[in-house]
């Protein structure tokens, strides 16, 4: 089955609700006849405005994280159900910045993943190695652990919409993009690990590449057989750049 490209923007802690609204309006009006699926992930405060601006367009809106409980005394957190009720379709999980700065572990990523599935949302599971892990030959061990750790105890039947984003930590926000060969090789490995856990379903799941994706490098990356889209940080904050990446898909 052909996999539809997904081009996703991770706005991180950028853009006011008004700026986000303007950006979504520009993206929506510049999409042309793209066949790719389009997603933007604003800050929690920007979600409502982004959804309003996206109405009637192909642009979908997701959250950058969620808590695993449905509700309760968890100051500052958002449940998957709240995110769903706000109109989001997707949730990013286990982004390396969450792992690095907010003590996210494979276990908590897995709990969040279960919550996203419970709420009927699409999980975008982020994985990736640091430079020292790659240089010390641990690339495959790290990716395998992040995947199996996150998917532990979840049936393949629940994961038919799963999206995985491979983002080498050393390529995020650095301007250093993985080479096409490095990216394709890692994606093929990720798919093989997914096949070990989920069987044939692995052939239908999208694996996005993330890390310094720009209009100038997107086409070559997206032409690789196992690269099914992009998770874009910096270049998703400007309509022209994000649309350039969409045009390459």
CB-count burial class (<10 Å; 0-12, 13-18, 19+) for 102: exposed
Number of H helices, E strands in the chain: 10, 8
Cβ of residue 94: shortest distance to ligand PGA, in angstroms? 11
Nearer to ligand PGA, 173 or 196 (CB): 173
Cβ of residue 177: shortest distance to ligand PGA, in angstroms? 8
Nearer to ligand PGA, 40 or 198 (CB): 40
Q: Which residue is nearest to ligand PGA (CB)?
A: 233
Which of 81, 104, 129, 167 is catalytic? The answer is 167
What are the tokens at 170? 């050393």
Known catalytic membership, residue 167: yes
Cβ of residue 157: shortest distance to ligand PGA, in angstroms? 28
CA distances from 215 to 26, 62, 182, 227 (A): 16, 22, 19, 16
Cβ of residue 142: shortest distance to ligand PGA, in angstroms? 17
| Angle subtended by helix axes 139-151 and 106-118, to nearest 10 | 40
Phi-psi map region of 161: left, alpha, beta (phi>0 left; psi -120 to 50 alpha): alpha
Nearer to ligand PGA, 159 or 235 (CB): 235
Give the interface with ligand PGA as residue ranges (CB under 6 A).
Answer: 10, 167, 172-173, 210-213, 231-235
Nearer to ligand PGA, 198 or 217 (CB): 217
What are the tokens at 163? 């999206």
Strand, coil or helix: what is 164?
strand
User: For residue 9, which of 213, 226, 248 has the smallest C-alpha distance?
Assistant: 213
Nearer to ligand PGA, 198 or 222 (CB): 222
CB proximity list for 204: less than 8 A, separation 6 or greater: 1, 3, 160
Which of 95, 97, 129, 187 is catalytic? The answer is 95
What are the tokens at 180? 């096409």
User: For residue 77, which of 61, 96, 64 has the smallest C-alpha distance?
Assistant: 64
Known catalytic membership, residue 103: no
Cβ of residue 212: shortest distance to ligand PGA, in angstroms? 4
What are the tokens at 98? 């969450």
Catalytically annotated residues: 95, 167
């Amino acid at each position: 089955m052909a996999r539809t490209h997904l081009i996703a923007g991770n706005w991180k802690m950028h853009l006011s609700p008004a700026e986000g609204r303007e950006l979504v309006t520009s993206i929506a009006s510049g999409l042309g006849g793209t066949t790719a699926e389009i997603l933007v992930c604003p800050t929690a405060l920007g979600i409502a405005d982004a959804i309003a601006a996206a109405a009637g367009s192909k642009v979908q809106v997701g959250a950058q994280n969620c808590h695993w409980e449905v509700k309760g005394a968890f100051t500052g957190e958002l449940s998957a159900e709240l995110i769903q009720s706000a109109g989001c379709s997707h949730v990013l999980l286990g982004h390396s910045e969450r792992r690095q700065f907010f003590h996210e572990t494979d276990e908590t990523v897995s709990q969040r993943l279960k919550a996203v599935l419970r709420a009927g949302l699409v999980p975008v599971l982020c994985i990736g190695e640091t430079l020292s892990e790659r240089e010390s030959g641990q690339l495959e061990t790290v990716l395998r652990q992040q995947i199996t750790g996150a998917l532990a105890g979840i049936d393949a039947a629940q994961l038919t919409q799963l999206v995985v984003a491979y983002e080498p930590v050393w390529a995020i926000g650095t301007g250093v993009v993985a080479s096409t060969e490095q990216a394709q090789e890692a994606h093929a490995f990720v798919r093989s690990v997914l096949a070990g856990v989920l069987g044939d379903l692995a052939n239908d799941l999208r694996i996005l590449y993330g890390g310094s994706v720009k209009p100038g490098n997107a086409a070559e990356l997206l032409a690789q057989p196992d690269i099914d889209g992009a998770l874009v940080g910096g270049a998703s904050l400007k309509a022209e750049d994000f649309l350039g990446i969409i045009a390459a898909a």
